[in-house]
Structure 1
Amino acid sequence: MEKVNEFETAEYSYVSGSKQRFPDAANKVFTYSSVESLLSNLKHLSQMIKQHVGVQRPRLEELEKYYKGDNVKILEGKRRKEDDQADNRAPHGFAEYVSQFIQGYMVGIPLKTTHPDEEINEKIRDMNRINDADEHNSELILDQSIYGRAFELLYRNQDDENRFTIIDVKNTFVIYDDTVEHNPIAGVRYIKDEYNDKTMVHVYTSNRIYYYNLDNDFELTLDDEKDHKFNGVPIIEYKNNKFRTGDFEKVLPLIDLYDGAQSDLANYSQDLNDAILAIFGRMDLEGYGDLNPLDVMKKMKEANLFHFEPPVDADGKEGRADAKYLYKQYDVQGSEAYKSRLANDIHLFTATPNMNDENFGGVQSGEAMKYKLFLLEQKRATKERLFKKSLRNRYRLINNVMKIAAEGEFNVADLSIIFTENLPENVAKEIEWFTKAGGKLSQNTLLSLLRVVENPDEELERIEEEESKEPLRQPIYDFPTIQQQEEVNEDAK
C-alpha cells in the first residue's frame, strides 16, 4: 500500500461538471451496526478516519478560515492579467458577523438550567459554576454556527468532579448505529503528536475508552484501554440543523462576490493613479538614437505616457494637440448598488439584520424587534430544540455517574432549560404600563430585573440581615429657641 504523508489523503469527489463547493461526503454521518463489530474490524474504523481527514476536514477548515476573515476565494490565485496592475484583496467579515450575532442573540443572556428539587438544583448550579457552563455553552453555540456541529467531552477529573469541555470539531466525529433511533455507539478523536511524529486515536464507547496509534498507512494498533462510568458515549454532538450546515455556509458564494466587487473597486482607484497620459500632437519617434519605434513605445509605457499623432487635412494642416489620461471607466453608482444588493442578500439568507439599514435602528421595544427578526426566530427555534436534546444527554450521563458515586440522582426529564433571546427591551416602560393598570410586583421580581443582581433570593436575605443589624433610631426632638422659651416663661407668669 502506498504511503501517504501525515493526513494527505482523498481528494474531493465532485460530480463531473459540478460547481458544488463541498461534496456531499464532506458532511457524511458515520453509521455502523454495533460498536462490537466495529472494534473487531478496525479496517472500517480506519476508513472512517481517513474519510474524515481527507474529505470532511477540508470543509471544516475552510469554514473556519472564512470566520477568521481569511476568505479563501479572494485570497487565492491571480486576479489581474498584467503584473503591473493593482491586485488588492479585500476579504470581508460577513461570516464572523453572522456567527457572532447569532451567538449573542441566543446565549448573550446565559441559558437557565433548573430543577424543581432545590437540593438537586444546587448541585447542578455548583457543577455549572465549576465548568464555567455559561462560557462553555456560548462556545458550543459558536462552533455550531461556524461548522454546523459542535462536540463536548465529559470526564471525571482527579478530584472526582464531573467536568465537560469543548473538543475540536476538525478532528472529532461520532458514530451512530444504523437503527431508526440513531443512537451514538462511539466517539472518535484523533490527535497529531508533532513532537513524537505519531497520531493517537481515542475511541469512546458507552463504558470504555480505547487508545490506538495510527501510522501513515492508516493502520490502527491498540495501545491501552480503560473504563469510564458514564454509561453512555461521553462525546456529545450538538447539531446546528438537520443537515449540519453552518449559518453562513450557504452564502459563501455571495461573500466571494462581495469581496471581488470591493477588490475591483480598490484596484480601479489605484490604477487610476497610474493612468497613462496620452499626448495628441506630432512627435518624431525616429529621433531617439539607436532605439527603434517599438522600443520607444515600450519606454513610453514604462513612463506611463503614450504619444498619438493627430490627423492632418488635405492642406497639410494639423489638428489641435491635446493630452489626457487613459483609464478604464467605472460605473461607481452601479457598483455600489450591486454591492448593496449582495450585502442585503447575505443578511436575508442568513436571517441576520443589516445594521446599516436605516429602517432597522432606532428606539424600539423588544416586541417590535422580534417582528424584524422573524426569520432568525424560526432558525433559533430549531437550534434550541437540537441544543436542548444534546444538553439533556449531557446531564443524563452526569446523572449516571452520580448514581454510582452515591451523590444523589435526579430525573433529567424534570430539568427546565430556558433560552432568553438577547434583545434590547424597554423594561421601565413595561413596568410603568403594568403598574398604571393596577398590577403589583414582588421585591423578588423587581430584583431579578436588575443586571447587577445575580440571585434575587440571596439579595433579599442580605437585605433582611442588614435591617436586623441596623441600630434602633432615636426619636428626634425639636428643642425650642431662646425666644420661644422666653415666650413660654412669660405666659406662665
Structure 2
Amino acid sequence: MANDTNAPSTMQPWSFYPKNADVKMLNGPRFDQDANRTFKIDANKFAQVKDDPDALGDVVSRFINRHYTHQLKRILAMQRYYIGANDIKFWNSGKAINRADNRIANEMPKYITNMRVGYTFGNPIRFQYNDDSSQTDTDRDTVNEVVDDFDKRTNEAYHEKVMKKNLSVTGRAYELNYVNKDTNDPYVMALDPSEAFVVYDTDPEQHSLFAVHYYYVEDDETPLWYVDVYTADHIIHYQPTGYPNSQLAFDPQQKDSFEEHYFGAVPVTEYVNNDERLGDWEGEMDNFDAYDKAISEMANSEEDFSNATLVISGEFDFGTDENGKPKVHPDVDSLSRYMWLKPAQVQNGTGGNTVVPPKAEYLTKELPIDAWNAYVKTLSDNMHKFTNSPNVADENFASNASGVAMSYKLWGSDQERATQQELYARGLMRRLRLLGNYWYTLGKIKSADLIENITPIFTPNLPKNDSEIVGNVQKLSQTGDFSQQTLWEMAQPVTGIDPDEEQSRMDAQADSEPKVTMPGDYPDSFGKTSETDSTAPEQDSNGDETNPEPTGVQSVEQDKQAVILQAIANQRKQQGGGN
C-alpha cells in the first residue's frame, strides 16, 4: 500500500499532466513552496543506516514520497512547456460548444533553451592540463590520454548539451558515473530530473550523502517502479514496487543487489542552473500563458468572423407551386452563392403596411487589430528582455554587425552564461574527481590528485568574423611576445584544427622537406672557398684585401647566409619557439 493516503489514485508519472479543460490559466501560484526544496538529512543519522539496506530503505521511501508528491509536478510542467504542451492546451476557457476554441502554444521555451545550449556548448569544452613543476611529462601525458579516451568513448560533447538542456528547462541536471557491464571502462549518462535527486548533509557546504534514481517501467505485464540508491561506496537495487512511495524491500539473495562502485564518493552529481535552481525561463511562464491566450483569441475571433451569424431582412422569393400557393423555403444554405429575397410588408400602427427593403448581412464585431498587435509585441519583447535572450528576428539585430556591436546585444546573456559556467565547472570537476578515484584504483594514473591539474576551458559559440580573428592573430604574432601554441589556439575557430594536431602537422611537414646542410658542407654552387681556392681574396700586411671577390661570388655568399638564417627560423618555428 502507498504510504501517502493523499497520493493520486493513478501513480504513473504523467498523472500530473493536466486534463482537457482542467487549467484556469494565470490564476494563483503554480507550485507549492516545497516544489524546489533541496533535500537534507543529518549526517550522523544517515551514518546509522547507510550500511543497512532495510533501514536505509525506510529513509529513502520518505524522500521519494516528498519528491513525488511535491516536486514532480513542477519538473513535468517545465518539461511539457519545452515540448509545447503549455497550459493553453488544457485551458478551461468556458466557451460555448458552437464557438471557436483554438489552443495555440508558443515555443519560446524551446527557443530560449536551444539558444542557451548552443551558446554555451556549441563549441566543445577543452580539458587543459596545467603543468605543475612537481609533475613529470609522463604524468601529464597519462592523464590527458585517459581523459581523452573517456571523452571520445562517452561522446562527452553531446552529453554536455543534454545536461545543459536539463539545466535550462528544470534548473537542475543529474549525471551518473557508472562502469559498463563486463568491462572496466567508466561511462557517464544524464538522468531525467523527474526521476532523480540527491540528499545532502546539513553542513553549509552540502556534501552528498546518497542519491536516488526511481523510474517507472510500463511493460505488457505489470507496470512497476524501480529504485536504485547510490551511496559513497555502494549501489543498492531495491525490489520493484507498484507505487513510487511504497515501503522499499531489499532482497540480499538477488544478484548484484548490493555492489561496490569504486568511485570514492556518491557517483551521481547534481548540477544547478543558479542558486535558486530555477530554469532559464521559469519566471516568464505567466508571459508565455498571456501570449498563448492572446494569439489563441485572435485566431478564435477570425474563425468566429468567418462563421458569423447571417441576418436576413425580407422574405425569400421561391415563387408558387402548381396550385398557385407560395413555396415554403428550406433552411438557409450558407454555401449557396445565390439568395432571392423580396421586400417584406409589416403592418404599422395606422393600419397600413410598411415595406421593409430586403437585406442579408453578417453580424460581426469590430476587431482592434492594431491594439492586439501592440499587446502581442509587448509580450514578445518582454519574454526576450526578461530572459536575456536575443531576438534574432529583430530588424535591429543585423547580421553584418561588428563583433563589438554583437557583444553588446548579447551582453545580458553573457552575464548569465558566466555565472552558469562557474556552477557547471564545479560539476565537471566533481565528475573528473570521481573518475580520478576510479582510474587510481585501476592503476591507470599515479595519483587521484593529478586530476586537480585539469581546467575545463569554455568557448562561447558566438557569431565570428574570420577576417577579424586572422588579423588579430597576425598582429599578436608580429609582437613576438606570444608562443606559437597560443596563436594556434586563437586561430582554431577559423581553421578548425586543434593546436596539438597543428603541431603534429607541422612536424610531419618539416620531416618531409629537404634538410639544409650546415656551413662547410654546402655544394660548389654556393661558392665554397678553401685554402687552395684560386678565388680566395689576398690580403696586405694590414689585413686588407688586395683583390676583392668578384661581384658574382659576393652574391653567392649573401644567398648562402640567407638560406642559413631561414633554416634557423624554420627550426625554431617547428619547435614552437614563435617569432
TM range (shorter): 0.7 to 0.9
Distance of aligned partners of 1:393 and 1:310 in 2 relative to their CA distance in 1, 3 Å threshold: farther
TM-score, structure 1 length as denominator?
0.83
CA distance in 2 between partners of 1:283 and 1:302 (Å): 14
1:344 to 344, 360, 381: 381
Q: 1:368 deviation in Å?
A: 2.0
Q: Deviations over 1:406-460 (max 9, x none)?
A: 2113434322112111111223135436646954687652574355543233233
Output aligned runs, 1:367-386, within 5 Å.
Answer: 367-386=404-423
Q: Which residue of 1 aligns with 2:231?
A: 205
Give unmatched runs, 5+ long, in structure 1. Answer: 285-295, 473-493
Q: Does 1:89 align with 2:115?
A: no
Structure-2 residue corresponding to 1:113: 127
Deviations 1:31-90 (A, max 9, x none): 11133345435333212111212221121111111111121x111145362212222221
Question: Which stretches of structure 1, 4 residues or more, deviate above 4 A after TM superposition?
Answer: 1-6, 8-12, 298-305, 307-317, 433-444
Distance between the aligned counterparts of 1:379 and 1:420, measured in 2? Answer: 15
SS at match of 2:93: coil
Q: Which amino acid in structure 2 is aligned with residue 460 of structure 1? A: Q
For 1:90 and 1:124, the matched residues in 2 are separated by 47
Deviation at 1:152, TM superposition (A): 0.5
CA gap of 1:54–1:111, structure 2 versus 1, over 3 A, is same
In the alignment, which of 139, 154, 158 is matched to residue 131 of structure 1? 154
1:146·1:246 contact (CA, 8 Å) conserved in 2? yes
Say whether the 8 Å CA contact 2:287–2:383 is kept in structure 1: yes
- Structure 1 residue matching 2:29: 3-state secondary structure: coil
The partner residue of 2:247 within 219, 224, 229 is 219
| Number of residue equivalences | 457
Q: Match of 1:209, SS?
A: strand
Contact 2:84–2:105 (CA under 8 A) maintained in structure 1: yes
Q: CA deviation at 1:323?
A: 3.0
Which shows bigger deviation, 49-58 or 390-399?
49-58
The residue aligned with 2:546 is none
Q: Distance in 2 between matches of 1:36 and 1:358?
A: 61
The CA deviation at 1:109 is 1.0
> What amino acid sits opposite 1:406 in the alignment?
G
Distance 1:122 1:237 in 2: 26
1:429 matches 2:453: no
What is the distance in 2 between the residues matched to 1:6 and 1:414?
51
**Equivalent position of 1:54 in the other structure:** 69
The residue identity in structure 1 corresponding to 2:215 is I
Give me the identity figure in percent.
Answer: 29
Q: Is the 8 A contact 2:466 2:494 kept in 1?
A: no
Letter in 2 for 1:391: L
Q: Paired residue for 1:334?
A: 371
In the superposition, relative to structure 1, how do residues 328 and 391 fare at CA in structure 2: closer, same or farther (>3 Å)? same
TM-aligned CA distance change 1:125 to 1:302, over 3 Å = same
Q: Do the aligned partners of 1:205 and 1:232 also contact (CA within 8 Å) in 2?
A: yes
Matched, 1:278 2:304: no
Distance 1:209 1:43, change over 3 A: same
Distance 2:235 2:30 in 1: 36
5+ residue gaps in structure 2?
18-25, 132-139, 252-256, 318-327, 516-579
The 1-side partners of 2:65 and 2:473 are apart by 62
Give matches, 1:474-485, under 5 Å: none
Contact 1:127 1:162 in 2 (8 A): yes
Contact in 2 for aligned 1:151/1:235 (Cα 8 Å): yes
Change (3 A) 1:173 1:333: same
| Counterpart check, 1:460 vs 2:503 | yes
Say if 2:16 and 2:73, in contact at 8 Å, map to a contact too: no
Aligned equivalents of 2:407, 2:283: Cα separation in 1: 24
Per the alignment, do residues 402 and 433 of structure 1 end up closer, same or farther by CA in structure 2, a change over 3 Å counting?
closer
* Pair member with larger Rg: 2
Q: Equivalents in 2 of 1:405, 1:41: separation in Å?
A: 30
Match for residue 176 of structure 1?
200
